[in-house]
């Protein structure tokens, strides 16, 4: 299994049998190495309805006939756009053919902004996603502030790899993300959601270096972690 970072909160997981992508915000993503028209995805996993996470979901899902897994209201909204969706919600897990997904809480908002008509569409609660594939558990925290039940998530799950936002302003900054890393007890922690926009500019290496030896890992855009 190969897990690759593509800037902002975009992460792909290639299992050999399935191509998965988290939060495919590509158009407008100043950091990414992906082109929306080239993305292959059997499954799109969405943490919440903000535009910098839903991103190019509709285009990618239509072209690939992807399954879109998302919190319920966001899934319903995308279902109305003609996508094949699987709604879930916080605390619920489901065994798919590609692996197991469980949604956790996230302290954030969730709404899709339709810029043209200046409408904000409510898309339910934001979530984090626990994905277990081939015996490994990946935690994509989505956008969130720090919350102490991360300790519980860490107790209940053996997280091999966690993607945590460090950008500050909209989510945890590096200091809170350091506590989150400790509480989640993840074997490896990769910072995300930073430096895409000036207001979330951060030094990911300073964050990674602040974690106990070997835990923090900065992935450059396009760089992967492989599990054998």
List residues near Mn ion by CB under 5 A. Answer: 52, 143
Q: Is the dihedral of CA 16, 54, 171, 99 positive or negative?
A: negative
Select from 18, 17, 24, 73 the least CA-distant residue to 44.
24
Q: How far is the CB of 214 from Ni ion (least distance, A)?
A: 30
Give the nearest distance from C-beta 32 to Mn ion in angstroms: 14
Task: Retrieve residue 176's tokens.
Answer: 């809170």
Alpha-carbon dihedral angle through residues 118, 123, 126, 129, given to the nearest 10 degrees = -120
Q: Closer to Ni ion by CB, 53 or 136: give it.
A: 53
Choice between 25 and 98, CB closer to Mn ion: 25
Q: What are the DSSP calls for 72-117, one per residue?
A: HHHHHHHHTTT-EEEEE-TT-EEE-SS-EEEEEE-SS--EEEETTT
Residue 219 CA to residue 97 CA, distance in Å, equals 28
User: How far is residue 135's CA from residue 188's CA, in Å, rounded to a whole number?
Assistant: 15
Rounded to a whole number of angstroms, the minimum distance from the CB of residue 225 to Ni ion is 24
- Per partner kind, with CB cut-offs from 5 to 8 A, the member of Ni ion, Mn ion, none near residue 56 is none
Identify which of residues 143 and 168 has a Cβ nearer to Mn ion in the complex: 143
- Nearest residue (CB) to Mn ion, 14 versus 113: 113
HSE of 224, CA atoms in CB hemisphere, 13 A: 11
What is d(CA 173, CA 143) in angstroms, rounded to the nearest whole number?
11
Q: Which is nearer to Mn ion, 109 or 185 (CB)?
A: 109
Q: How far apart are CA 24 and CA 32, in angstroms?
A: 10
Q: CA–CA separation, 71 vs 107, rounded Å?
A: 14
Distance in Å, CB of 74 to Mn ion, minimum: 14
Of 5 and 170, the one with the shorter C-beta distance to Ni ion is 170
Query: How far apart are CB 209 and Mn ion at their closest, in Å?
Result: 24
- Angle of helix 72-79 relative to helix 57-64, nearest 10 degrees? 60
> Using CB under 5 A as the criterion, which residues of the chain lie in contact with Ni ion when the complex forms?
50, 143
Q: Which does 73 bind (CB under 5 to 8 A by kind): Ni ion, Mn ion, none?
A: none
Instruction: Tell me which of Mn ion, Ni ion, none is bound by residue 136, counting a contact when its beta carbon lies within the kind-specific cut-off of 5 to 8 angstroms.
Output: none
Q: To the nearest whole angstrom, how small is the minimum distance from the Cβ of residue 69 to Mn ion?
A: 18
């Amino acid at each position: 299994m190969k897990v690759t970072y593509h800037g902002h909160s975009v992460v792909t997981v290639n299992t050999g049998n399935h191509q998965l992508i988290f939060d495919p915000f590509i158009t407008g993503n100043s950091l990414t190495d992906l082109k929306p028209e080239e993305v292959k995805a059997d499954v799109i996993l969405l943490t919440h309805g903000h535009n910098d996470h839903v991103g190019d979901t509709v285009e990618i899902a239509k072209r690939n006939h992807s399954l879109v897994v998302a919190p319920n209201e966001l899934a319903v909204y995308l279902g109305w756009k003609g996508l094949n969706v699987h709604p879930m919600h916080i605390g619920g897990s489901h065994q798919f053919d590609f692996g197991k997904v469980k949604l956790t809480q996230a302290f954030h908002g969730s709404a899709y902004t339709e810029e043209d008509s200046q409408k904000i569409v409510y898309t339910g609660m934001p979530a984090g996603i626990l994905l277990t594939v081939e015996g490994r558990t990946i935690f994509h925290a989505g956008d969130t502030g720090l919350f102490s039940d991360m300790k519980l998530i860490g107790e209940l799950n053996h997280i091999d790899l966690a993607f945590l936002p460090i950008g500050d302003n909209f989510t945890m900054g590096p200091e809170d993300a350091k506590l989150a890393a400790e509480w989640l007890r993840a074997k490896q922690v990769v910072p995300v959601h930073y430096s895409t926009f000036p207001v979330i500019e951060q030094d990911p290496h300073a964050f990674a270096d602040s974690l106990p030896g070997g835990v923090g890992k900065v992935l450059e855009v396009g760089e992967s972690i492989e599990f054998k």
